[in-house]
Structure 1
Amino acid sequence: MQMPSPQPVSAPVNTAGADPFVRIEAVTKRFGSFTAVDDVSLSIYKGEIFGLLGGSGCGKTTLLRMLAGFEDPTSGRIWLDGQDMTGVPPYERPVNMMFQSYALFPHMTVEKNVAYGLKHERMTDAQRKDRVREMLDLVQLTQFAHRKPHQISGGQRQRVALARALARAPKLLLLDEPLAALDKKLREHTQFELMNIQSQTGVTFVVVTHDQEEAMTLSDRIAVMDKGQVRQIGTPNDVYEYPNSRFVAGFIGSITTFEATVRKIEGQNAILDVPAMGGVKIGRSVPGLTEGEKVTLALRPEKIRLGRERPDDPNSFSGVVSGLGYLGKDSLYRIALPDGQIVTVNSVNARRVGEDERVADWEDQVWLSFDPTSAILLRN
């Protein structure tokens, strides 16, 4: 299938000084003795793509269903555009939901699927036809209007479901794992299509996903959830570069952690004793650190330099290559340290080389190093 090149997407929404469009206040949802959502409070702003990210059972879909009105909070309140949603049924909320399965009617054409949500709207037949045409134009499916769902691709079915969800002009669109059924290449392309459509319509999106890369690509801001609670809220850059806990650091992307002790603080840096690295290392300090405190030093694979020669760098340490994977755009190295700990390192393949020209090979002794600013220090 030939896919058009993605168009540029707009910059993230500026939330400075803005009033929240969606306000979730101390919301808890229990099913019997099980707490699915535990005292969650967060704000979502108009025109944002807001991601709810977490593993299975973390409470993200339950929170989405409460926004839609399919579930009622056990306690707490949800506000939408200044209106308290308590007791407001789903069909009276200015909200629509796009399900993971797309839920298209197989016996209806693309056009009729999109029109289905408008059947109870107060509009003339001509207005309804114009709205359907507008939606099909928006998702670039006008030429497929008379086909049935089984006659179009998975990515096109996804866009039909999106067009149907947007046809009623909701103030808030909820998307539950919207790209899960697509293959990797199509999923990556469709992420940018979704961003462009959201930019054109201005509708606020809340996207539930377990896919970290999807959340990082799509979202203006992300709420990372675990065991019914929000562990961190921030931009993709915030949660990746400045995680606030071991859980968030480990859940977003790959990371290697080391036990460390703070020897002293020197300006912006913390001097650390890191036994697994063979001694003293330097990391950028964080507020509140004190001498003698136990901390976790965390390093992303792409932040670590790899070479055969020992660098003139206080943050260097050695190991042996115990695993190697060639991924095309980069190579993934697993380095075993003297104490047995494994460090994962990504080396970008910036130029085409043969196997005998790799940075390192199996069983090679290598040296690793990192900048103090690349070290993520997490207080235990």
Structure 2
Amino acid sequence: MDVDTKPPGSESGDKPWLDQKAKPFIRIDGVTKKFGEFTAVDNVSLDIFKGELFALLGGSGCGKTTLLRMLAGFETPTAGRLFLDGQDMTELPPYERPANMMFQSYALFPHMTVEKNVGYGLKHEALTDAQRKDRVKELLDLVQLTPLAGRKPHQLSGGQRQRVALARALAKRPKVLLLDEPLGALDKKLREQTQFELINIQYKLGVTFIVVTHDQEEAMTLATRIAVMDRGLIRQIGTPTEIYEFPRTRFVADFIGSINIFDGEVKSVAKNKVTVAAPALGADVIVEHTGTMPAPGAKVSIAVRPEKIAIERKEPGADATGNTIAGKVIDLGYFGKDSLYRVKLPSGTMVRVNAVNSRRADENERVAVWEDNVWLTFAPSSVIILTE
């Protein structure tokens, strides 16, 4: 499938969530869901805008699927209200909602062909036979399954079954499509390919997609914005860049991707520079910080992503800028495109470093190998201060 690399709204740079006058398409207002004494979703409020591909991201038991099921109408909130395009959906049954759900298992009818699976939901729509046939053909063309229209699910690959389920979910032209772990059953390579196919389809149709996933890379690839959930709460909402580069809490920083986190204490603050004493690193760390400045003496955490740390055998010169610490390579993992180094500092602290293998080299030409004494450097702008 050809992939249109422009994300939704990219032509105008439209980000409605930044416009205080923009009207949300979906409003989740103080929604709580309890099962007995257990609170699965805890007073969640969230606005989603028309045409977004929005991701609910979190580990098992965080409440993301329960929230999706409430949007679909399969669960009723214990408290709070749900609105779609200005309409209160809180008490509406699933069949009266302008939303459809694509399940993780795909739930295809094994005895039906691809064509009949896609058209099944149109049986009771006010359409002529010709209109139904045209709608099914349009969707099969969209997901590039027209040549396989006569096959049954067991004759399809995992990726093809996923596309049949997607076409069937879109057949009734819902205002919102809810996707529960839509790529979870696919292998890694096929999942990567299908992510872009899904983005392309959503972009062409302009339908609002809400995706539930536990896969951080999947959420980062697919979504215009992400809500990170933990124990029924939303910990942060933002674009993939905001979530990754500017996490607001230690939980979000640690959950998204790989990161080194160290406890510290603020020594001094000057303009946009904060100096943090970090005993685990055996050094003071300079941080460029543009948010609310912590006061001297404040207990904080500092975090730096492994790919933002440079590793060298040679000690940096006196004119070097940035933060510098020394250590020894204890572990090395080679992954082809990059290498992971675990570097032990004199304090005993382990630091993870990712180095891109930008040129072909054998083992003897690597940046460092086991037991090498190395120097790690990272820019003040790469360090994150976490106060929560």
TM over 0.5: yes
What CA deviation, in whole Å up to 9, does each residue of 1:99-133 have, x standing for no partner? 00000011100000001011111111111000000
Shift of 1:92: 0.4
Q: Contact (CA 8 Å) 1:310, 1:316: kept in 2 or not?
A: no
CA distance in 2, matches of 1:160, 1:86: 29
CA distance in 2, matches of 1:81, 1:373: 41
Shift of 1:314: 5.0
CA distance in 2, matches of 1:267, 1:34: 46
Residue of structure 2 equivalent to 1:378: 386
What CA deviation, in whole Å up to 9, does each residue of 1:250-280 have, x standing for no partner? 0000001111111111111101211122222
For the pair 1:75 / 2:79, whether they are aligned, the reply is yes
Could you tell me which of 21, 25, 38 is aligned with 2:25? 21
Moved over 2 A (4+): 4-14
SS in 1 for 2:122: coil
Q: Judge which range, 246-255 or 10-19, deviates more.
A: 10-19
Aligned pairs for 1:134-283 (under 5 A) are 134-283=138-287
Q: Contact (CA 8 Å) 2:8, 2:52: kept in 1 or not?
A: no
Shift of 1:5: 5.2
Q: Contact (CA 8 Å) 2:59, 2:230: kept in 1 or not?
A: yes
Q: Contact (CA 8 Å) 1:9, 1:195: kept in 2 or not?
A: no
SS in 2 for 1:107: coil
Shift of 1:11: 4.2
SS in 1 for 2:92: coil
For the pair 1:291 / 2:296, whether they are aligned, the reply is yes
CA distance in 1, matches of 2:359, 2:2: 25
Could you tell me which of 291, 307, 310 is aligned with 1:302? 307
What CA deviation, in whole Å up to 9, does each residue of 1:206-259 have, x standing for no partner? 000000000000000000000000000000001100001000000000001111
For the pair 1:119 / 2:123, whether they are aligned, the reply is yes
Unaligned runs of 5+ in 2: none
Q: Contact (CA 8 Å) 2:281, 2:349: kept in 1 or not?
A: no
CA distance in 1, matches of 2:284, 2:70: 50
Q: Contact (CA 8 Å) 1:114, 1:161: kept in 2 or not?
A: yes
- Normalised to the residue count of structure 1, the TM-score between the two structures is 0.97
Shift of 1:55: 0.1
Q: Judge which range, 256-265 or 219-228, deviates more.
A: 256-265
Q: Judge which range, 83-92 or 14-23, deviates more.
A: 14-23
Residue of structure 1 equivalent to 2:350: 342
Shift of 1:294: 1.1
Equivalent residue letter for 1:121? E
Unaligned runs of 5+ in 1: none
- Normalised to the residue count of structure 2, the TM-score between the two structures is 0.95
What CA deviation, in whole Å up to 9, does each residue of 1:31-58 have, x standing for no partner? 0000000000000000000000000000
Could you tell me which of 46, 58, 63 is aligned with 1:59? 63
Q: Contact (CA 8 Å) 2:282, 2:347: kept in 1 or not?
A: no
Could you tell me which of 126, 132, 140 is aligned with 1:128? 132
What CA deviation, in whole Å up to 9, does each residue of 1:62-91 have, x standing for no partner? 000000000000000000000001211100
CA distance in 1, matches of 2:7, 2:237: 21
Equivalent residue letter for 2:188? K
Are residues 5 and 307 of structure 1, via their aligned partners in 2, closer, same or farther at CA, if it must alter by over 3 Å?
Answer: farther
Q: Contact (CA 8 Å) 1:335, 1:343: kept in 2 or not?
A: yes
For the pair 1:365 / 2:365, whether they are aligned, the reply is no
